[in-house]
Structure 1
Amino acid sequence: MDDRSLYRDHSPVHRASGRRRVLMPLAVCSVVLAGVAGCSAPASKDAAPAPSATSASPERASGTRELEEDYQRVIKDVLPSVVQIDARSGLGSGVVYDNKGHVVTNAHVVGDEKEFKVTVATRGGDPMTAKLVAAYPEQDLAVIKLDKVPEGLKAARFGDSAKVEVGQIVLAMGSPLGLSSSVTQGIVSAVGRTVSEPRQGGGTGATIGNMVQTSAAINPGNSGGALVDLDGRVVGIPTLAATDPQLGGSAAPGIGFAIPASMVRTVTDQIIKDGKVTDSGRAALGVSGRTVLDDEFQPAGVAVASVQKNGAAARAGIEAGDILVGFGGKPITTITSLSEALASSRPGARVKVAYQRDGVEKGVEVTLGEM
């Protein structure tokens, strides 16, 4: 067994793939604003009146028009490369990867299916048929291929996710709730996030490192679409949105996550070339296990259930029955925390692993393997 068995759902995120008949009525702001209180702070008696829309300086008005033109240019350039994927059990999005008809999307969008209907956002007409090339659930990515490549099919341009910066404006394109050709806008809120995906509802349970966090709205159906910068380059594949337990598990507005373009290219190129991922670039410890609780019923480590023969842990002397409590100087309390630590590491790295055996804590340096 390998580290894939370590993935569990302990993270407040939901998949962004869509399902049939989930389109719900959306409140229209202009209808309800009159009945909403507290949307803005009360003005002081001495406060100067707010400037009207017509009092904006010519320079500011010009800057706004230029930004709008940037948005429109990027949308016009990229939207023809974004598709809607009908996987029978649900709807998702995809991005045209090359002129041979390969489309990259999320593994949880394709699920266990092999054949799909694909609609290009800007073309209309009858859906095209496509077949699965391969899925890589460990990174929640998959590649499908159109049975017949239409004339003029436009491949997207992928950027360098290493150059993505916090505060950068991005657009999310896809088919949220089945509304094809939809675009939302936001910024890059953070980079380098490690997020665990749920298994429920068809999720892969993957723990994915180095994700791009964005405030652009990511809704069901956006999965597998495009997160795009203002140069028209895809910098990520929208995959997850955070949920708020205090809202009954509803989506937490403005907190979405996208798989970085660099990982998308690495996985997709291997699938197209070899039909599978041959070099995951993901670190592995070579164990399977379960979370254990202390006397106060709090998570206290990962009990090793089995050790892969000749794996990283086995070579370091870790045995079944040991309880992992530390990785790289950080505490390990759950399977999810161990998975996240591995997702943030690279194969070949030497990491100190702390573990307990017969009530005695020990430490050992482990050279990580590859998943």
Structure 2
Amino acid sequence: MDASLVRRVLMPVTAAVCAAALFGGCTGSPKESASPQAAPKAANDLEADYEKVIRNVLPSVVQIQAGDSIGSGVVYDDKGHVVTNAHVVGAEKSFNVTVATGELELTAQLVSSYPEQDLAVIKLDKVPQGLKAAKLGDSSKVEVGQIVLAMGSPLGLSSSVTQGIVSAVGRTVREGEDGSGTGATISNMVQTSAAINPGNSGGALVNLDSELIGIPTLEAVDPGLGGVATGIGFAIPVSTVKSIADQMIKNGEVTHSGRAALGITARTVLDDSYQPSGVAVVSVAKGGPAQKAGIRPGDIITKLGSTEITSVMSLAEALASASPGEKVAVTYLRGGEEGRVEVTLGEA
């Protein structure tokens, strides 16, 4: 997806407003609402499910103030580690955190940030009594049509909840680099219709089993109108969250990204009409996948597998959908003649 279609959901702290979230049930037609017993049992059961999930998960969702901005986070363990988005923490090292178990702000320090996957971990300086870690779900069991709830601090309204469904899985989405975006290309994202607004970044996307299935990160933007495309949001899958967060907590950094790489530096090539038409190899890493396969500086990559490559960004998106160790055919131009080699992808 083009960068113009997505934007981060972090909000300026100056726009934050403190307010209590109000939750109400649904009523039927005027005739039905006259008698509570007339409400369908299924609707009552679903409402009860929502309320149970909110009780279970909301204590694990926190509000994070990073400099002049506000975002959200999810309690990852009982030691005070909180996972959030890299664009929420930005360049800050210290944070003020408000947890659902108390009104007083707590302080926290950065453990590590990984902008390439837009994830970060911070740690509370003092773990408050009753802090509850989120229950992690299974990304392989996330299916289109599942009901989900998004929890966070949209527009500074802490402990807010919205609902929707999983609209799609396996999306590869690129963050914008305008403003303070990381420009990350993230694969396997969960698309949801649950409302995701500024301040929701780093919060929780959960299923009706009270399990975290993703970290809300992006809202879609209408490229024509420039406004938010309602009902289209994206969350980083919990499998990625767990892999990256565990490394940060154990090592203080990400040592195995799980992201495929060719081992090149490159630039976009334009055709005679000034349209992107390929990726020119500027340099190859010594001993890297590209060099081992015989790719040289000056080659112009036009395909990765069956995917047309027209720009550096399209190459990044194609690689985001691949895995280290995977063998893929690379089509290129050298001196105007087409060549094709098989490359065993490395790790970024």
Both structures adopt the same fold (TM-score exceeding 0.5): yes
CA contact (8 A) 1:92 1:222 kept: yes
Residue in 1 aligned with 2:76? 97
- Within the candidate set 186, 189, 195, 1:211 is matched to 189
- Within the candidate set 6, 13, 17, 2:6 is matched to 13
**1:313–1:60 CA distance, 2 compared to 1 (3 A):** farther
Residue in 2 aligned with 1:259? 236
Deviation at 1:12, TM superposition (A): 1.4
CA contact (8 A) 1:286 1:312 kept: yes
Q: Name whichever of 304-313 and 260-269 sits farther off.
A: 304-313
Residue in 2 aligned with 1:119? 98
Deviation at 1:125, TM superposition (A): 2.2
Residue in 1 aligned with 2:126? 148
Deviation at 1:21, TM superposition (A): 2.7
| 1:221 aligned partner, one-letter code | G
Residue in 1 aligned with 2:304? 327
- Within the candidate set 54, 62, 76, 1:75 is matched to 54
Deviation at 1:59, TM superposition (A): 7.9
Secondary structure of 2:244's partner? helix
Secondary structure of 2:12's partner? coil
Deviation at 1:138, TM superposition (A): 0.9
TM-score w.r.t. length of structure 1:
0.87
CA contact (8 A) 1:227 1:237 kept: yes
Deviation at 1:151, TM superposition (A): 0.9
Q: Deviations over 1:273-302 (max 9, x none)?
A: 111111111111111212111112221011
Q: Which runs of 5 or more structure 1 residues have no equivalent in the other structure?
A: 1-7, 25-50
Residue in 1 aligned with 2:199? 221
C-alpha distance in structure 1 between counterparts of 2:58 and 2:16, whole Å: 22
| 2:277 aligned partner, one-letter code | A
Residue in 2 aligned with 1:237? 215
CA contact (8 A) 1:9 1:205 kept: no
- Aligned pairs for 1:125-136 within 5 A: 125-136=103-114
C-alpha distance in structure 1 between counterparts of 2:243 and 2:201, whole Å: 19
Identity %: 65
Deviation at 1:119, TM superposition (A): 0.2
Residue in 2 aligned with 1:64? 43
Deviation at 1:334, TM superposition (A): 1.3
| 1:179 aligned partner, one-letter code | L
| 1:288 aligned partner, one-letter code | T
CA contact (8 A) 2:13 2:65 kept: no
User: Does 2:264 align with 1:287?
Assistant: yes
CA contact (8 A) 1:313 1:366 kept: yes
Secondary structure of 2:228's partner? strand
Instruction: Considering Cα pairs closer than 8 Å and 6+ residues apart, tell me whether 1 or 2 has the greater RCO.
Output: 1
Secondary structure of 1:201's partner? coil
C-alpha distance in structure 2 between counterparts of 1:216 and 1:54, whole Å: 30
RMSD over aligned Cα atoms: 1.8
| 1:198 aligned partner, one-letter code | G
Q: Deviations over 1:103-131 (max 9, x none)?
A: 000001001110000001x2342210000
CA contact (8 A) 1:173 1:183 kept: yes
- Within the candidate set 138, 144, 153, 2:116 is matched to 138
Q: Which runs of 5 or more structure 2 residues have no equivalent in the other structure?
A: 18-27
**1:53–1:364 CA distance, 2 compared to 1 (3 A):** farther
C-alpha distance in structure 2 between counterparts of 1:70 and 1:314, whole Å: 55
